[in-house]
Amino acid sequence: MSRAAPESRTAFAHFLPVTTRWMDNDVFAHVNNVVYYSYFDTAVTHFLIESGVLDIEKSQVVGLVVNTHCNYFSSIAFPDRISVGLRLAKLGSSSVRYDIAIFRNDEDLASAQGQFVHVYVDRDSNRPVPVPEALVLALGKLAPPAAR
Amino acid sequence: MSRAAPESRTAFAHFLPVTTRWMDNDVFAHVNNVVYYSYFDTAVTHFLIESGVLDIEKSQVVGLVVNTHCNYFSSIAFPDRISVGLRLAKLGSSSVRYDIAIFRNDEDLASAQGQFVHVYVDRDSNRPVPVPEALVLALGKLAPPAAR
Amino acid sequence: MSRAAPESRTAFAHFLPVTTRWMDNDVFAHVNNVVYYSYFDTAVTHFLIESGVLDIEKSQVVGLVVNTHCNYFSSIAFPDRISVGLRLAKLGSSSVRYDIAIFRNDEDLASAQGQFVHVYVDRDSNRPVPVPEALVLALGKLAPPAAR
Amino acid sequence: MSRAAPESRTAFAHFLPVTTRWMDNDVFAHVNNVVYYSYFDTAVTHFLIESGVLDIEKSQVVGLVVNTHCNYFSSIAFPDRISVGLRLAKLGSSSVRYDIAIFRNDEDLASAQGQFVHVYVDRDSNRPVPVPEALVLALGKLAPPAAR
């Protein structure tokens, strides 16, 4: 939990543009700390849906969020545009850990950075199962650029 | 409060793209009814900021929301893209009423449509004041296309 | 859509306490206009669940929100406590219209007041169906006090 | 970032009841991971306001959130009641780290647990300043029960 330094866009493999909303700003006129996790959550789920891995209605195996964290480096405020960077941090037998960064407007250094961990479970039994093969394949697109 | 029919994009003067978020979807796997108002709120405030009318920190005159309503015609779900259409419904002495519509992906008919009313007040006294001249000018851009 | 006057607590049949949240407040240091609809939505759904009418997983018939509106009379801010008042406005063949009011702390006059309309549909066909009998019975608890 | 085990209520010094909302539930019919941070944020800010330490409008010194994290142990769903437990994790020269836990209904073990770190800065210069004395005093109320 040390306070890591912000990384640049080149360290991430995949990006999702997200529009900020007026109510994202709190009393201090900046995006509230909670809302960053909504950007995280949206980027991961968007990746899963566009990769054909998650079918909300039908998937028998689903990812449960077991851990998230975020370091906040500099503030963002509506109407800033943001881009959410994604890369694979660690693929376990039943779990996937993502590195996620929030980039403000055209800035190259992350305004915030953190991680998001899914454990895959059977929807009925709630027991851990292997990460679905289709996801393992899709995660190839999230390999850290340096590792390619 | 009759249930008006959805209008098409050509009936609106100005558009703001908004990205949906995973948590916008509720248990029924569609964007929750509350969230539409966040799209409304964002489109109006974005228009005010980009028109140079609202300075969050400094404006002595601010718009208070006194009335909103929305008719829901068809559902939207993350990861749909949406576009928020805006036009002036009525300019009063101290108030501005906006017509707002939510368009899903490339659809031409609104998925939802409603109104949003601001009353302008002095930030300290909270008393109604005339709609700021800069806003009256900016509202020219929101005239209903048919009226131009 | 005229700007009705706020009513008092005695005009409502049922109340749900709701706690405000820090991020409910927007840049103007008051609860954002969007969030009121979350209080509405929560009060109606809470009533349906505690009445045994809505089973999120199993109900074959569900209520779709087709129309909502809200008049804002006076502001609320975290950490205010609120109480959401509910009463039946109109029971139709396939629809239920609720009157809803938001009361701040121990105040007797509503800070905001509006309506929320559900149309009941079959979950698969999405076609209107009669309001479920169990709900018709439960709605007896929401009769306007004056009507009892 | 190891996955700590959930602690019981007796390990926390202060509690805030929070009501869940219908839209807190996401497609999987449980409170979305993002929303837990809103409970965290609300509990800390509520403590600061009721302790007389934070005056939203006037405080010249404010806490910036620099780091948050959460471990999710078991799910919560609207209409569950929750209670947010708070204790001081670490008081630094310019920073305060809180341990926070979310308890569901009358359960004794936390459903989720994490931390929230404020760095105190001057509102104009944005530079770190010593934790305000009034807060240092108030934090006495958050001492871990075992330490008293």
Question: pLDDT tens digits for D12-58?
Answer: 999 999 999 999 999 999 999 999 999 999 999 999 999 998 877 77
Residue length, chain B?
148
CA distance B44 to B98: 8
**Range with lowest mean pLDDT among A81-85, B26-30, C55-59, C135-139:** C55-59
Instruction: For residue A2, tell me if it sits in a domain.
Output: no
Is the bond into B79 cis (omega within 30 degrees of 0)?
yes
Interface test with B, best of A16, A18, A19, A118 (most B CBs within 10 A): A19
With 90 as the cut, is the pLDDT of residue A105 above it?
Answer: yes
Instruction: For residue B1, tell me if it sits in a domain.
Output: no
Instruction: For residue A139, tell me if it sits in a domain.
Output: yes
With 70 as the cut, is the pLDDT of residue A134 above it?
Answer: yes
Q: Is the ipTM of this complex over 0.90?
A: yes
Contacts of A24 in chain D (CB under 8 A): none
With 50 as the cut, is the pLDDT of residue A133 above it?
Answer: yes
Question: pLDDT tens digits for C104-129?
Answer: 999 999 999 999 999 999 988 989 99
CA distance C132 to C28: 43
With 50 as the cut, is the pLDDT of residue A129 above it?
Answer: yes
| Planar angle of CA C14, C66, B142, nearest 5 degrees | 120
- Answer yes or no: do C65 and B56 touch at CB < 8 A: no
Instruction: For residue B2, tell me if it sits in a domain.
Output: no
Question: pLDDT tens digits for D60-93?
Answer: 899 999 999 999 999 999 999 999 999 999 999 9
- Answer yes or no: do D45 and C22 touch at CB < 8 A: yes
**B-D C-beta contacts closer than 8 Å:** 22
Its domain, for residue A137, covers 10-147
What letter does residue B49 receive in the DSSP assignment? H
Instruction: For residue B117, tell me if it sits in a domain.
Output: yes
Instruction: For residue C104, tell me if it sits in a domain.
Output: yes
Q: Is A45 on the interface with D (CB under 8 A)?
A: no
Q: Determine what percent of chain C is predicted with pLDDT higher than 90.
A: 85
Identity of the residue in C21, C42, C50 whose CB atom sits nearest the CB atom of D42: C21
Note the pLDDT of residue C37.
98
Residue of D nearest to A2 (CA): D67
- How close is the nearest chain B Cα to the Cα of A24, in Å? 10
Question: pLDDT tens digits for B41-63?
Answer: 999 999 999 999 887 777 889 99
pTM for this entry: 0.96
CA distance A78 to A68: 24
We report the CATH number of the domain holding residue D126 as: 3.10.129.10
Residue of D nearest to A3 (CA): D67
Reduce the DSSP state of residue C89 to 3 states and report it: strand
Instruction: For residue B3, tell me if it sits in a domain.
Output: no
With 80 as the cut, is the pLDDT of residue A56 above it?
Answer: no
Identity of the residue in C22, C46, C56 whose CB atom sits nearest the CB atom of D41: C22
- Answer yes or no: do D22 and C42 touch at CB < 8 A: yes
- How close is the nearest chain C Cα to the Cα of A142, in Å? 32
**How many domains, chain B?**
1
Q: Is A29 on the interface with B (CB under 8 A)?
A: yes
Segment C11-21 shows an average pLDDT of 98
Segment B53-80 shows an average pLDDT of 92
CA distance B84 to B9: 10
Instruction: For residue A83, tell me if it sits in a domain.
Output: yes
With 60 as the cut, is the pLDDT of residue A3 above it?
Answer: no
CA distance B42 to B50: 12
Identity of the residue in A1, A28, A34 whose CB atom sits nearest the CB atom of D1: A1
Contacts of D49 in chain C (CB under 8 A): 79
- How close is the nearest chain D Cα to the Cα of B118, in Å? 23
Segment B132-143 shows an average pLDDT of 95
